[in-house]
Amino acid sequence: MRNLFAIPLRSLLWLGFFAAILAAWWVMFSMARMSGLDILGRSTGMNMMPMTSFGALAPMWAIMMAAMMLPTLVPTLRSYEDLMVSANGTRAGWLGVLLGYFITWVGFAALIAGVQVGLLTSGIIDSLGIATSPAIAAALLVVVGLFQFSRAKEICHGVCHSPMMYFVGHWRTGFGGGLRMGLGLGAFCVGCCWGFMALGFVGGVMNLAWMGLATFFMVLEKLPQIGHRITKPMGTLLVLAGLAVFAAPLFMKG
């Protein structure tokens, strides 16, 4: 008799994938609460979890990468599934792609954690990860906005937006092949999305509202139907936001 409660491996893997995303968001929410922060990253009370050392910041950024970037991987994993029959893909390869992608972002998490420690030590940001000067925040917004128009963004976004083409050109079988492709895709994704991580220094790196908005936009950027249409408009909005942040103190003085 067939086991009615048997769950296909594909369903189990996808359930585990989405459970990991939910767990990462829950951990970020809990860390924010323990750090005395509200959903906008503002201090609300005693900080029981200072985020000022590399040892504390690197795991925090790694969990943040899981919360923000794993949702953007859904179209890529679906593309791999489309090739599983025609190109000898396997569930082990699927897991390899996922692991390789996440390893790349963990590496970026360590890098940006080191950058945050340096910025904190030099007084450029405060203990909440917020730029101490409106001019610095404005410059960061403008730089990230202009990057949306760059050739580097175009190349990296092209790979993230059309992962099928990457798989066709770099196809490897098995877990090791999936891992290798995942590392490559992760590198292009870091090149595409690093700016949105850096914008955490504008409103606070543990600002959950910013995390949610950034994740939502990065998911939209990777959707085949609309992703290529919103990259430059977002760049324009960021540049305008930077100019507004720079000009605001001048109008206040006036």
Give 72's DSSP letter: G
Along the 254 residues of the chain, how does pLDDT read in single tens digits? 445 445 688 889 999 999 999 999 999 998 888 877 777 767 776 666 667 789 989 999 999 999 999 999 999 999 999 888 777 888 999 999 999 999 999 999 999 999 999 999 999 998 888 899 999 999 999 999 999 999 999 999 999 999 999 999 999 989 999 999 999 999 999 999 999 999 999 988 888 888 999 999 999 998 878 888 999 999 999 999 999 998 877 676 65
pLDDT of residue 128: 82
| pTM of the predicted structure, to 2 decimals | 0.90
Structure tokens at 119: 């910025």
Structure tokens at 101: 């992608």
pLDDT of residue 94: 95
Q: How big is the CA angle at 108 (ends 42 and 11), to the nearest 5 degrees?
A: 90
pLDDT of residue 34: 80
CA distance 181 to 115: 27
pLDDT of residue 248: 77
125 phi/psi in degrees, rounded to 5: -125, 160
Could you state, in order of their start, the residue ranges of all structural domains in the chain?
9-253
pLDDT of residue 49: 65
Q: Which residues pair with 125 in a beta bridge?
A: 131
